Amino acid sequence: MSLFSDHQKEPEFIIASSRVFSFLASVKKPGVVVATAVLLASCSSEPPKSLVTPLPPVTKQPLPLPSAQRQAPVRGVWLATVSRLDWPPVSSVNASRADIRISQQQKALTNKLDKLKSLGINTVFFQVKPDGTALWPSKILPWSDMLTGKIGEDPGYDPLQFMLDEAHKRGMKVHAWFNPYRVSVNTRASTVAELNRTLSLHPASAFVLHHDWIRTAGDRFVLDPGIPVMGYTTWGCIDLVAASTGEMSKRYGFVYVDRDDRGAGTLARKRKKSFWWYKKVIASNGRGLD
C-alpha cells in the first residue's frame, strides 16, 4: 500500500485506504514517514479491538397474526340468572325428574349461545353469583336455588363449567359476573351513635336490636348475609320494560301497565292483587305474609 514518496518534506495527508476511517498526520522527516508506514502495515493484518458495544443481532420480526387471531373488539351480553331473568328457564325447575331438569337447562343455554353467536356476539358475562348463592361448586357459598328451587341443593352438574365448555366450542369468551354484598356502613363513632339512637324509632336498626347479626369487615360494619331478613323492596312498583330483554311481559310491578312487548297499549294503570298483599305486609311490619 503506497502512502506517499519518502522524499517529500512538507506535511502531507496520510490516508489509510484499507480502513473505514481516515488517518490524519503531519510528517516532517523521512524517518518518521518510514516508521509510520511500518506501523500502519503491521496494524493492517489485525484490526484494533473496538471499545464500542456492538448492536444485538437483527432478529426477524414475527409475521403478523391472521386477522381472525387478532384481538377483536368485545361484543358482549350480560346473561342474568337472578330471578331466572335470562336463564335457567322457570319451567325447568318444576321438572318431574332431575335428568329432565338438567337436559332442559343445558339445552336452553346452548340455544342461547347459538343465537348469540349468530348475532356476532363473542363474549358472555355470565351471572354466577346472583345473590348469596353460587352456580358452581363453591366451598363458601351454597348452591343457588335458581337451579333447583332450593338453596343448597346440588343441581347434578356444574353450570359454570358447562357454560365455559359450550362457549369455547363456539369461539366465545366467558366472564364470571358476581353480585357483591353491598350492605355496609362505616365504623366511625358518630355512625355508632346515630345507629344507637334508632332504638327509640320504629322500626329500630338491626344494629341495636340484633347486634349479634353485625360483623366487621375492615373499617365497615356489615350485616351477616346468613341471617333472616325481611325487606319491603320490589324490583319495580309498576310494570316496566326489562333492561335485559326489552320485554313488558315479565310484569315486574304490583301495578299493571297496559302495554305489550311491541309497544302497543294505552299505558293505563291498574292495581294487581300483589298491590294489596304488599300493602298488608308493610302495614303489619312483615307479620301478615299469608
Chain centroid to Cα 101, Å, comes to 30
Residue 290 pLDDT more than 90? no
Cβ neighbours around 159 below 10 Å, total: 25
Does residue 192 sit within a domain? yes
Q: Judging by beta carbons within 10 Å of its beta carbon (0-12, 13-18, 19+), is residue 101 exposed, middle or buried?
A: buried
Does residue 68 sit within a domain? no
Of 167, 193, 223, the one marking the end of a domain is: 223
Our CA angle for 57, 58, 61, nearest 5°, is 145
Q: How far is it, in rounded angstroms, from Cα 241 to Cα 247? A: 5
SS3 215: strand
Does residue 66 sit within a domain? no
Burial track 236-263 (b if 16+ CB lie within 10 A, e otherwise): eebbebbeeeeebebbbbbebbebeeee
| 142 & 100 share domain | yes
> Cell for 192?
355508632
Does residue 65 sit within a domain? no
Does residue 109 sit within a domain? yes
| 83 & 15 share domain | no
Cis bond upstream, residue 88 (ω within 30): yes
Per-residue CA distances from 289 to 151, 195, 202, 275, 279 (Å): 21, 28, 19, 13, 11
| 87 & 156 share domain | yes
pLDDT in tens, 107-125: 999 999 999 999 999 999 9
Q: pLDDT above 70 covers what percent of the chain? A: 72
Does residue 167 sit within a domain? yes
CB hemisphere CA count around 55 (13 angstroms): 3
| 129 & 211 share domain | no
Is residue 86 within 8 A of residue 245, CB to CB? The reply is yes
Phi, psi of 266 (to 5 degrees): -90, -10
| 113 & 136 share domain | yes
- pLDDT range class, residue 58, cuts 50, 70, 90: low
Residue 95 pLDDT more than 90? yes
| 80 & 140 share domain | yes
| 171 & 191 share domain | no
| 86 & 159 share domain | yes
Does residue 22 sit within a domain? yes
| 157 & 104 share domain | yes
- pLDDT range class, residue 55, cuts 50, 70, 90: low
Domain that holds residue 30: 1-45
pLDDT in tens, 233-266: 677 788 887 766 777 887 878 899 998 888 888 9
Q: What is the pLDDT of residue 287?
A: 75
Beta-bridged to residue 269, according to DSSP, are 257
pLDDT in tens, 20-42: 334 334 444 444 444 444 444 44
| 7 & 31 share domain | yes
Does residue 206 sit within a domain? yes
CB hemisphere CA count around 108 (13 angstroms): 20
| 174 & 198 share domain | no
Q: Alpha helices of 19-97 — where are they, by DSSP H?
A: 30-44, 90-93
| 237 & 285 share domain | yes
CATH number at residue 81: 3.30.750
Q: What is the DSSP letter of 285?
A: T
Split into its structural domains, the chain has a count of 4
Q: How far is it, in rounded angstroms, from Cα 105 to Cα 149? A: 13
pLDDT in tens, 187-236: 999 999 999 988 888 778 888 988 898 999 889 998 887 776 666 667 77
